[in-house]
Chains A and B, each alone.
Chain A
Amino acid sequence: MTLRLREALVQGIRREGERAYPAECCGLLAGRPGSVKDVTRLVPATNRRTDDPHRYLISPDDLRRIEAELRDSGEEVVGCYHSHPDHPAAPSAFDTEQAWPWYSYLIVRIDRGRAAELTSWVLDDDRAKMSPEPVDVLSEV
């Protein structure tokens, strides 16, 4: 599946990653799944991992609350985003181990404080690895 989002949302993720540097940022992607996953907005989430700046955790309680809020507008969680400070925008072993199927995992590399490449990944059905997913960025008119 392709992940489609507006340029402004991409910029939003990049800014959040830069602001959190050298720690990681994390948040959820709200959208409407169809033949492509259309991301409608970003939902910044609280990172519940406070012991290690290179780990993030969005708790099930937070996810339930956010999903309930989205339900009224017909949106749902289609994935999440997080930053890799000074590491490539590719899933770590830990990312893969923790991943859910179907969700899109957007990763932005923050290179010495500046946002660099942004990629999206989806877990393979056999959980062996995550595969890249095309990202369609809609430029603003």
Chain B
Amino acid sequence: MSVTVSIPTPLRPFTAGRDTIELAGDTVGQVLDGLVAAHTGLKRHLMQEDGRLRNFVSLYLNETDIRHLASTATPVRAGDVLTIVPSIAGGSPAATETKAQLSHAEMLRYSRHLLLPEVGVSGQRKLKAARVLTVGAGGLGSPLSLYLAAAGVGTIGIVDFDVVDLTNLQRQIVHGTSTLGQPKLDSAAARLTDLNPNVRIERHETRLTAQNALEILRQYDIVVDGTDNFPTRYLVNDACVLLGKPNVYGSIFRFEGQASLFYAEEGPCYRCLYSEPPPPGLVPSCAEGGVLGVLPGIIGSIQALETIKWIIGAGNSLLGRLLLFDALKLRFRELELRKDPACPLCGSNPTIRELIDYEAFCGIGAEPAYTGPEISAEELRREMNAKGNELVLVDVREPHEWEIAHIAGARLIPLNQLPERLAELDGHAEIVTHCHHGARSMKALEILKGAGFGKVRSLAGGIDAWAERVEPGLPRY
């Protein structure tokens, strides 16, 4: 059966100038397959890589759009005319609303922005219309959300499920002493609303997971990653790539920070930079390794800056650049980032097409489990009283931690020195090891047992449990 295919002007360069082509087939799909087989240059313009028709290609069988029939399965008969009709579409780079109007009070509030030609009224209106999601209301999320709110970003979504703890306040400046113990979302929302009541705060009181990430991120124009762990960082990246959203990245550790803008539509994603996470435990968290409080202030502010520039379309973004900051040397460095064509997520042959199990991907739960006999803080107090010097208490923390607090009678042997200092310990004595929370102490047990020490136990919960339940006069950290 012969069907006439009518070729639109823009495709005629690929059909040697012909405006109609006769082809055989039983269905629209078969006729199309015959068309692209005979004129191979047409294929990439008509079909996506998965073989489906591009969304801007419409096909009319005689006078009817095939989407109103049976799509490509629509049967064709001899004499039918199949017409390819373009839809013509496009748009400017940031699909942000610009309908938002500014009140007189807002004009005054943002006057220092309005004076900048790069921002101006139109930029300020874009900020007002923008919807930004910040993942985490912690160290990075604090300066970030404060500056975004102050700048007049109309809607700020925040994902967090934690409560404000005293150890947060050294850096998490969106919270305060008066909000200790409150959910971080409530604490942050109150502070941000006080700073700028024009801003709408959307609360997502949940852990971001592969199950809810797409649903939450979908609602926003741009996502700012203020997370402190690898599973969530990969999750945020992957969800952003799958949804086609820009991801403003920042991370901090001790005295060093990084920032970039990932946007797979126009440049690299986080996986182009780090295709695999580091082995679990290799990179300590801020809770384990510490962080200088002002560092997230700097990196989070850079993330706020990049977000605002993206929304108003000003300047050169960090897209394709990784910014490295060393607070001790006070030095910024920059690395060029390229999109990796082999990236499993945003490369030319992606293998990741949906969200995965990020805990498993980052090896969490699969790391070698250190186990061993434990002793509770209360039991240790009783045995120390009863046995005196027969019980040796070994503190495997670092000297600067010892300086914060230590248990009277303990001996300091930092974990990394333990293998060389075993001779200092009596092989027949009962040994109890301890650290801050119990993890390093378990590694110490492995070393001692491996060296033939028989009577070894670890203080469950570390010095923190001891300070909480046995010796309340001891400072906690």
The answer to whether A and B assemble together is yes
Interface residues, chain A, CB within 8 Å of chain B?
A: 22-24, 26, 28, 33, 45, 49, 52-60, 63-64, 76-78, 80, 82-87, 91-95, 98-103, 105, 112-113, 125-127
Judging by beta carbons under 8 Å apart, are A55 and B89 in contact? yes
Confirm or deny: B85 has a beta carbon within 8 angstroms of a beta carbon on chain A: yes
- B87 and A102 within 8 A (CB): no
Contacting residues, chain A, for B434 (C-beta < 8 A): none
Bound-state CA distance A98–B55 (Å) is 8
Closest to A22 in B: B98
Report the separation of the CA atoms of residues A54 and B89 in the bound assembly, to the nearest whole angstrom. 11
Which of chain B's residues 151-189 have a Cβ closer than 8 Å to chain A?
Answer: none
Bound complex: CA A87 to CA B266 (Å): 16
B222 to chain A, nearest CB (A): 14
Q: How far is the CA of A63 from the CA of B87 in the complex (A)?
A: 7
Tell me which residues across on chain B come within 8 A of A64, comparing CB atoms.
60, 83, 85
A102, B9: Cβ atoms closer than 8 Å: yes
Contact B90 A99 (CB under 8 A): yes
* Given known A28-B88, A49-B89, contact A102–B95 (CB-CB < 8 A): no
Contacts of B99 in A (CB 8 A): 22, 53
Considering the complex, give the chain B residue whose CB is closest to the CB of A45: B88
Against A, the Cβ 8 Å flags (1 = close, 0 = not) of B62-98 are 0001000000000000000001011111111111111
A101 to B95, CA, bound (A): 24
Q: What are 22 A-B pairs at a CB distance below 8 A? A: A22-B98, A22-B99, A22-B122, A24-B91, A28-B88, A49-B91, A54-B92, A60-B58, A63-B86, A63-B88, A78-B9, A84-B93, A85-B92, A85-B122, A86-B123, A87-B92, A92-B93, A95-B90, A101-B14, A101-B45, A112-B122, A127-B44
Could you say which residues of chain A place their CB within 8 Å of the CB of B86?
A: 60, 63, 100, 103
Given contacts A54-B91, A93-B266, A94-B89, 6 further A-B contacts (CB under 8 A): A24-B92, A54-B98, A76-B9, A80-B90, A92-B91, A95-B90
Q: Smallest distance from the beta carbon of A29 to chain B beta carbons, Å? A: 11
Decide: A98 near B9, CB < 8 A? Known: A22-B98, A53-B98, A86-B122: no
Q: Inside 8 A of A45's CB, which chain B residues have their CB?
A: 88
**Residue of chain A at shortest CB distance from B84:** A60
Q: Could you say which residues of chain B place their CB within 8 Å of the CB of A54?
A: 91-92, 94-96, 98
Q: Is B472 an interface residue (CB 8 A)?
A: no
Docked Cα-Cα span, A93 to B58, in Å, equals 21
Of B11, B86, B120, chain A has the most CB atoms within 10 Å of the CB of B86
Interface string of B7-23 (1 = CB under 8 A from A): 01111111000000000
With both beta carbons as reference points, the residue of chain B lying nearest to A91 in the complex is identified as: B90
> Which residue of A is nearest B100, CB measured?
A22
Write out the residue numbers on chain A whose beta carbons fall within 8 Å of the beta carbon of B361: none
Q: Is the CB of B65 within 8 A of A60?
A: yes
> Chain A's nearest CB lies how many Å from the CB of B131?
13
- B contact residues vs A (CB 8 Å cutoff): 8-14, 41, 44-45, 55-56, 58, 60, 65, 83, 85-99, 120-123, 125-126, 265-266, 313
Is the CB–CB distance between A56 and B90 below 8 Å?
Answer: yes
CA distance A98 to B95 in the complex (A): 15
Complex interface: chain A residues within 8 A of B45 (CB): 100-101, 127
Assembled-state Cα–Cα distance A77/B8 (Å): 10
Nearest A residue to B96, CB-CB: A54
Residues from chain A with Cβ under 8 Å of B98 in the complex = 22-23, 53-54, 85-86
Contact (Cβ within 8 A) A103 B10: yes
Question: Which chain A residues lie closer than 8 Å to B11 at the CB level?
Answer: 100-102
B88 near A53: Cβ-Cβ < 8 Å: no
Question: In this complex, what residue of A is CB-closest to B117?
Answer: A112
List the B side residues contacting A126 at CB < 8 Å.
Answer: 44
Nearest A residue to B41, CB-CB:
A125
Measured between alpha carbons, how far is A49 from B87 in the docked complex, in Å? 12
Residues in A whose Cβ lies below 8 Å from that of B58: 60
Q: In the assembly, what is the distance between CA of A23 and CA of B98, in Å?
A: 8
CA distance A24 to B93 in the complex (A): 12
Q: Is the CB of A60 within 8 A of B265?
A: no
| CA–CA, A102 and B86, complex, Å | 12
Complex: chain A residue closest to B65, CB-CB: A60
Give the 4 A-B CB pairs with smallest separation, nearest first: A22-B98, A60-B58, A55-B91, A102-B10
Question: Complex formed: what's the CA distance from A59 to B94 in Å?
Answer: 22
A113 to B125, CA, bound (A): 13
Cβ–Cβ < 8 Å partners of A91 in chain B: 90
In the complex, what residues of A have CB within 8 A of residue B120's CB?
112
Closest to A86 in B: B122
Residues in B whose Cβ lies below 8 Å from that of A95: 90-91
- Given known pairs A23-B98, A100-B56, the reply for A94 and B91 (CB within 8 Å) is yes
Q: Which of A56, A86, A98 contacts B56 (CB 8 A)?
A: A98
In the complex with contacts A22-B122, A53-B97, A101-B87 CB distance below 8 A = no
Which residues of B lie under 8 Å from residue A101 when comparing CB positions? 10-11, 13-14, 45
- Return chain B residues, CB-CB under 8 Å to A59: 87
Smallest CB separation, A123 vs chain B (Å): 8
